[in-house]
Chain A
Amino acid sequence: MKLSRFTRAGLATFAACVVFFLIAPLLVILLFAFDASNVQTFPIHHWTTYWFSVAWHDPAVRSALWLSVKAGVLATAIALILGTMVAFGIHRYRFFGRDTVSLLLVLPIALPGIVTGLALQSAFNLVGIPFSIYTIVIGHATFCIVVVFNNVVARLRRTSTSLMEASADLGASPLQTFRLVTLPTISTAVIAGGLLAFALSFDEVIVTTFTAGAQNTLPLWIFGAIRLGQQLPEVNAVVVGVVLLTLIPIAFAARMSSGEGTGRSTRSSI
């Protein structure tokens, strides 16, 4: 589109401001994590890495981290299996109610998270299931499935079926075709979907509030600490750790899917 130099400059300035607005708060947490003071004031006078070691040696933080990792891994495993299956089903077969299934998949992220959380709590309460790591996993897997689905279905749409047909024509059994042809073409999309699902689960707090009972995942520990206004310098260090731990899998996932499925279900898209 032909734009005047004036319009271009205006847009560039506006975009720079948006980027600053998006990034600056993240730099603030990074800075405050190295603040030596007990009470956070700006500007920062003394610098330290002391709070990172406090956080790392805090048993409450450690057990919360461990629970988050375990729940994230289990939820991701379920999401990988079910998300890939439903992607194949939706992509390969035309059937009555196909659109309804697609709608059903996005429902856990289109409806407010608190609805999913409260619904699960009501069901656990009615059936008499006590809170455990599995109740957390059930909640997380439900909203992680769509992330895997989006990644895999985007890849399937881009690969032509002629490859699989050729494999069958050359005498491969359906299982062989799946293992030797289909799986290698979708593998990076599956891995990317899994990494995104783990990141989503690792960070989730709203649904978890309702499905964790007295257990503390890392986000729940952070929420509790901020709310009570206790151990705030330690919270700073933990929060920086969490951001880094989430961004590493995201960076890998972005590499692997290389912008695939952009525009499909926000968090899974880029």
Chain B
Amino acid sequence: MSDRGLRQRVGAALWRRPWLRGVLTLSPPLLWFLVIYLASLVVMLVTAFFTVNSLTGNVVYQWTWSNFSQILTQSVYGSIILRTLLMAIAVTITDILLALPFAFFLAKVVSRRWRQLLLGLLLMPLWASYLAKVYAWINILSNKGVLPGIESKLGIPPTHIAYTNIAMWIVFSYLWLPFMIVPIYGAFERVPDSLLEASSDLGAGSWITFRWVLLPMVLPGIVAGSIFTFSLTLGDFITPLLIGGSNSDFIGNAIYDSALNGGNLPFAAALAFVSIAIMAIYLLLARFAGAFEAL
């Protein structure tokens, strides 16, 4: 049989069996996710219940709750988890407050040309290297950096916020702000202008329209953005290390230290378990708000 004939027969066979085509297109990517990603997650979650032999450094495959009881009973970990959570909440709220008016302005107020320009500008902080942005802030906040330099020029007393929690709050808010603006902007863009006109024709002022027409429609965008700000803050160890002061460890730092410096994978896994649990609760809440459509 000729090559061409074979190809046609295979093509025809596939054409008659859509389910077979579906299976063939979906199985390679699904296998990747099942075999590599999900299997790794399962391995990690199981590892959380093992320990490490303190002499040999090998993993002891014996089922135990000791990692979790250590996290729950030692106050160090309680304060680390609390610090991470509070920072995630503070940064999320800050970014919502900054992104909401900005995205509204971008989607509903400015002219088309300005919108294109501003969206183009937004690409830069969204995609510029993470470490470049963190490093910029080290140069801004450090004692001989840009901010103290400007302050001394203007004769203002220096604020000394380098290596504090306030510095971390500013830098995290900066880093994740574009991740909040984009989904909220997308949500505003999907609101048809006719709806706003209808609202104003029916006698609603701009505040009433914003509160009762716009806000409910952009809520999924806000929640989608907050999933990113939350998850990115929960997983970070670099900003606390480079921007934060001496008492600024996050869950990420504790994971990093025990996995890479302490050689204690099981304990790191148990800590990762905690951040997965926090994210799971958050994602469930987000699902109620219907944010998955906007992700």
Interfacial residues, chain A to chain B (CB-CB below 8 A): 1-4, 7-8, 11-12, 14-15, 18-19, 21-23, 25-26, 28-29, 32, 39-43, 78, 81-83, 85-86, 88-90, 92-93, 95, 101, 103-116, 118-123, 125-126, 138, 141-142, 145, 173-175, 199, 203, 205-206, 209-210, 219, 222-223, 226-227, 235-236, 239-240, 242-243, 246-247, 250-251, 254, 259, 262-267, 269-270
Contact = CB atoms under 8 A, between A and B. Distances in A.
B83 interface: no
Interface stretch (B63-71, B72-80, B130-138, B161-169): B130-138
8 contacts: A14-B101, A15-B101, A41-B149, A42-B144, A112-B231, A119-B41, A219-B131, A250-B127
Nearest to A113: B235
Nearest to B38: A104
Consensus secondary structure, chain B interface: helix
A112 B29 contact: no
Contacts of B265: 118, 121-122, 125
Contacts of A254: 120, 123
B183 A263 contact: yes
Please classify how large the interface on chain B is, using the bins under 10, 10 to 19, 20 to 34, 35 or more.
35 or more
Interface string B22-40: 1001101110110011111
A22 B18 contact: no
B190 A263 contact: yes
Contacts of B279: 110-112
Which of A23, A239, A240 lies at the interface centre, i.e. has the most chain B CB atoms within 10 A of its CB? A239
Contact of A263 (B8, B123, B137, B185): B185
A141 B187 CA distance: 29
A222 B130 CA distance: 11
B145 A40 contact: yes
Interface in B1-34: 7-8, 11-12, 14-15, 18-19, 21-22, 25-26, 28-30, 32-33
Given A112-B279, A203-B130, 7 more contacts: A22-B121, A25-B133, A40-B139, A173-B11, A209-B260, A227-B241, A247-B128
Nearest to A103: B292
Interface of B: 7-8, 11-12, 14-15, 18-19, 21-22, 25-26, 28-30, 32-33, 36-41, 43-44, 47, 59, 98, 101-102, 104-106, 108-110, 118-140, 142, 144-146, 148-150, 153, 174, 177-179, 182-183, 185-187, 189-190, 193, 196, 200, 206, 209-210, 221, 224-225, 227-228, 231-232, 234-238, 241-242, 252, 255-256, 259-260, 265, 268-269, 272, 275-276, 279, 283, 292, 294-295
